[in-house]
């Protein structure tokens, strides 16, 4: 078998620092993808402008195959990044030249350094008017030191880039028209993954990701550490616990650009996709002989929040969805577990399924995918997962990095202090304050919406999970009451016109409502029962002032994330293909009073 040199790299960065743009530019310049083709091929990814799923591609440069893994930048999908880092030999750490290192930069870099990888730093977006490449380089060096990098890792190579234009240069003063300098650095600095010695040894493959195909079933995406894998080969699958089972490889694919190409065999160092092992899981070892030792397990961070998924039981159930039964919901969640590794689900209860996830966005993406597929579902309020250790109650904590205009920082700090946030660091530059805050996840739930209002949309808030710490007690939140419909029918402009003075509405005129549906919030903390279907009393008499024009304030539209954020513990979020509604668990006022007494 002819041996082509192989290099394996992953591109890691904070959300929106340019990972996907850089990968796209590399593919276009090496002729592996047409213009306009992007790594973010999923509809949700294109709509939100973020990477959600890690994806593989490969480019051929100077006769060398470079396997590239594009990873998500959002903290909720950190489990995707952790797994990928185990299977590659070097990372390109992309940092925005204006923003500098952000929380997810710190998280992914920490994981890379722990695994002994030597990153190549790419300072991107140097064409921004406010770009500060030299300052950014110093900040990255400082971050390396803070994270305990060794001397070899501290001696990192820096490349300056404008990924959008497909330009890279070694020095800011250099002339450049493409990404050749970056590709040359990859060939020079990244260790060769393939060798004759490794090919001669018995096969060992470790999957770091899973995929699903309607015809082939579960697919394992893994790196060949040793040996040669062949189509039709009989293999053993080993767990770290020592458990062994047999299997047979039925199809074998490698990556060429974004396409998967079927091959008969692949050699050590390459990244492959294997079909035929229906129960394969991330971190297991696929071996040729039963005597071979298993590779070290890949550990994934545990979930931090949980909520219940239930059958939609509202009066409008079944109007829009195709899949509405608990059996259909269960099958869909089981299918999700095939590929979504950060997720855990408890199916033991007959009334609901308890879903454990990494954050509100992680759960919201799952719900969004389900509703687009035609599922109707209702979910309970997200709750934080507590742990007991040595008789002490622990809860998850997050580290926030906040950038706000100087004059608004006081309001943000006071709000976070009420939610048990502790300011660890504070600095001011260019009329902006950067805060580093440690806060319990409980305190962060429901805060993002308030933050946008408090900072008038000018603030940036990023978070990442830092671990479990002792429970900090009750958290005081600014709680608004719910405006609950006490009648079913069509909401009328006249009644909403009167109600909008009492709080913020979530609906507009002409929307169907039912008894127990939450149609808005009330500034005072208590719930208020209202009738949004009440029309104007018509008479034959005319009086000045009685025919005022109805001026409705635009409602606060309920999105999935906003719904999960503002819902209370006595409410459900109803998610259907066309609608997102809030409702009380007990629809009638009488039932709610009984539940309070009970």
Entry field: residues in the chain: 598
pLDDT for res 150 = 86
For 84, the enclosing helix (H) or strand (E) is helix 78-85
Predicted confidence at residue 546, as pLDDT, reads: 56
Whether 7 contacts 67, CB under 8 Å: yes
Residue 435 lies in a domain: yes
pLDDT given for residue 515 in this prediction? 92
Q: Which domain holds residue 338?
A: 305-378
Is 35 found in the same domain as 172? yes
Interatomic CA distance for residues 426 and 437, integer angstroms: 9
462 and 372 share one domain: no
Identify the band that residue 1 occupies on the pLDDT scale cut at 50, 70 and 90: very low
Please give the Cα distance from 209 to 271 (Å, whole number).
11
| Distance between CA atoms of residues 252 and 274, nearest Å | 5
Q: Do residue 51 and residue 159 come from a single domain?
A: yes
- When pLDDT is averaged across residues 462-483 and rounded to a whole number, the result is 81
pLDDT score of 8: 87
Report which of 468, 443, 390, 401 is spatially closest to residue 565, judged by C-alpha positions. 443
- Weakest-pLDDT range from 133-142, 450-459, 567-576: 450-459
Give me the pLDDT at residue 576, please. Answer: 92
Cα distances (angstroms) measured from residue 174 to each of 4, 166, 171, 180, 261: 32, 15, 5, 13, 38
Q: Are residues 391 and 374 in the same domain?
A: no
Mean pLDDT lowest among 162-166, 375-379, 406-410, 522-526:
522-526
Of the candidates 84, 82, 89, the residue with the CA atom closest to the CA atom of residue 66 = 89
Residues 422 and 493 in one domain: no
In a domain, 543, yes or no: no
In whole angstroms, give the CA distance from residue 111 to residue 478.
37
pLDDT of residue 378: 93
Q: Are residues 174 and 243 in the same domain?
A: no
Angle (deg, nearest 10), helices 78-85 and 103-114:
30
What pLDDT shows up at residue 542?
A: 66
Domain presence at residue 1: no
- Look over the chain and give the mean of its residue pLDDT values, rounded to a whole number: 84
User: Which of these three, 189, 222, 255, is where a domain ends?
Assistant: 189
Q: What is the mean pLDDT of residues 4-20?
A: 82
CATH number at residue 552: 2.40.50.250
Q: In the chain, how many domains are there? A: 5
Q: Which residue has the higher pLDDT, 194 or 147?
A: 147
Cβ neighbour number for residue 453 with a 10 Å cutoff: 10
Instruction: Flag whether 512 is in a domain.
Output: yes
Cα→Cα distances 388→81, 196, 385, 392, 439, Å: 28, 50, 10, 6, 19
Residue 140 counted as domain residue: yes
* Residue where one domain finishes, among candidates 435, 470, 505: 470
* pTM score, whole prediction: 0.80
Q: Residue 2: is its pLDDT beyond 60?
A: no
pLDDT at 163: 84
Domain-embedded: residue 250: yes
Is 148 in the same domain as 166?
Answer: yes
Summarize pLDDT for 190-232 with one digit per residue, the tens.
888 877 777 888 888 888 888 878 888 888 888 888 888 888 8
Cα-based distances in Å from 36 to 14, 22, 47, 60, 262: 23, 13, 16, 19, 25
Does 146 share its domain with 16?
A: yes
For range 181-194, the mean pLDDT: 86
DSSP at 174:
-
pLDDT of residue 36: 59
Name 495's Cβ contacts closer than 8 Å, sequence gap at least 6: 530, 531, 532, 533, 534, 535
Please indicate, yes or no, if residue 296 is contained in any of the structural domains: no
Q: Do 186 and 241 touch, CB atoms closer than 8 A?
A: no
Residues 418 and 438 in one domain: yes
297 in a structural domain: no
Q: Are residues 437 and 496 in the same domain?
A: no
| Same-domain pairing of 180 and 206 | no
Nearest to 518 by CA among 529, 509, 534, 502: 529
Residues 374 and 397 in one domain: no
For the chain, state the CA radius of gyration: 27
- Who wins on pLDDT, 55 or 483? 483
- Whether residue 402 is predicted with pLDDT greater than 70 in this model: the reply is yes
**Residues of the chain above pLDDT 90, percent:** 12
Please say whether the beta carbons of 574 and 581 come within 8 A: yes
């Amino acid at each position: 078998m002819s041996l082509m040199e192989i290099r394996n790299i992953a591109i890691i960065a904070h959300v929106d620092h340019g990972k996907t743009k850089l990968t796209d530019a590399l593919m276009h310049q090496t002729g592996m993808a047409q213009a306009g083709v992007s790594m973010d091929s999923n509809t949700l990814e294109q709509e939100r402008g973020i990477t959600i799923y890690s994806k593989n591609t490969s480019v051929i440069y100077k006769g060398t195959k470079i396997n590239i893994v594009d990873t998500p930048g959002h903290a909720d999908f950190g489990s995707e990044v952790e797994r990928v880092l185990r299977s590659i030999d070097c990372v390109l750490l992309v940092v925005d030249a204006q923003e500098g290192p952000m929380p997810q930069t710190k998280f992914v870099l920490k994981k890379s350094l722990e695994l002994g990888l030597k990153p190549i730093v790419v300072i991107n977006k140097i064409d921004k008017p406010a770009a500060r490449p030299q300052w950014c380089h110093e900040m990255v060096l400082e971050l390396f030191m803070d994270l305990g990098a060794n001397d070899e890792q501290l001696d990192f190579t820096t490349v300056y880039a404008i990924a959008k234009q497909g330009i890279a240069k070694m020095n800011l003063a250099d002339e450049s028209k493409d990404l050749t300098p970056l590709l040359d650095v990859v060939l020079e600095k990244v260790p060769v993954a393939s060798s004759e010695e490794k090919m001669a040894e018995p096969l060992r493959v470790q999957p770091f990701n899973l995929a699903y195909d309607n015809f082939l079933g579960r697919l394992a995406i893994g790196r060949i550490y040793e040996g040669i894998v062949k189509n039709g080969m009989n293999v053993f699958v080993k767990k770290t616990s020592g458990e062994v089972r047999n299997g047979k490889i039925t199809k074998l694919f490698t990556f060429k650009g974004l396409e998967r190409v079927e091959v008969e065999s692949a050699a050590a160092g390459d990244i492959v996709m294997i079909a035929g092992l229906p129960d394969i899981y991330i971190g297991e070892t696929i071996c040729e002989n039963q005597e071979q030792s298993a590779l070290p397990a890949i550990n994934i961070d545990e979930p931090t929040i949980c909520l219940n998924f239930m059958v939609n039981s509202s009066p409008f159930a079944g109007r829009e969805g195709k899949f509405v039964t608990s059996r259909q919901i269960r099958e869909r969640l089981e299918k999700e577990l095939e590929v979504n590794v950060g997720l855990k689900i408890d199916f033991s209860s007959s009334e609901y399924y308890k879903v454990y996830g990494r954050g509100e966005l992680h759960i919201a993406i799952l719900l969004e995918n389900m509703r687009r597929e035609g599922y109707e579902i209702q979910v309970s309020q997200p709750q934080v997962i507590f742990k007991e250790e040595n008789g002490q109650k622990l809860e998850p904590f997050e580290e926030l990095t906040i950038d706000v205009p100087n004059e608004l920082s006081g309001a943000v700090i006071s709000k976070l202090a009420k939610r048990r946030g502790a300011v660890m660091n504070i600095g001011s530059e260019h009329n902006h304050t950067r805060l580093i805050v440690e806060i319990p996840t409980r305190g962060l739930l429901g805060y993002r919406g308030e933050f946008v209002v408090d900072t008038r949309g000018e603030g940036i808030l990023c978070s990442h999970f830092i671990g479990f710490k002792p429970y900090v007690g009750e958290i005081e939140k600014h709680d608004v009451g719910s405006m609950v419909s006490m009648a079913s029918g069509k909401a009328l402009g006249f009644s909403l016109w009167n109600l909008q003075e009492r709080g913020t509405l979530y609906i507009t005129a002409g929307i169907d409502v039912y008894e127990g549906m939450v149609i808005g919030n009330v500034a005072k903390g208590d719930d208020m029962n209202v009738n949004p279907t009440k029309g104007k009393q018509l008479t034959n008499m005319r009086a000045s002032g009685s025919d005022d024009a109805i001026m409705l304030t635009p409602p606060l539209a309920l999105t999935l994330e906003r719904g999960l954020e503002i819902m209370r513990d006595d409410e459900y979020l109803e998610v259907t293909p066309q609608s997102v509604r809030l409702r009380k668990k007990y629809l009638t006022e009488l039932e709610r009073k009984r539940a309070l007494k009970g």
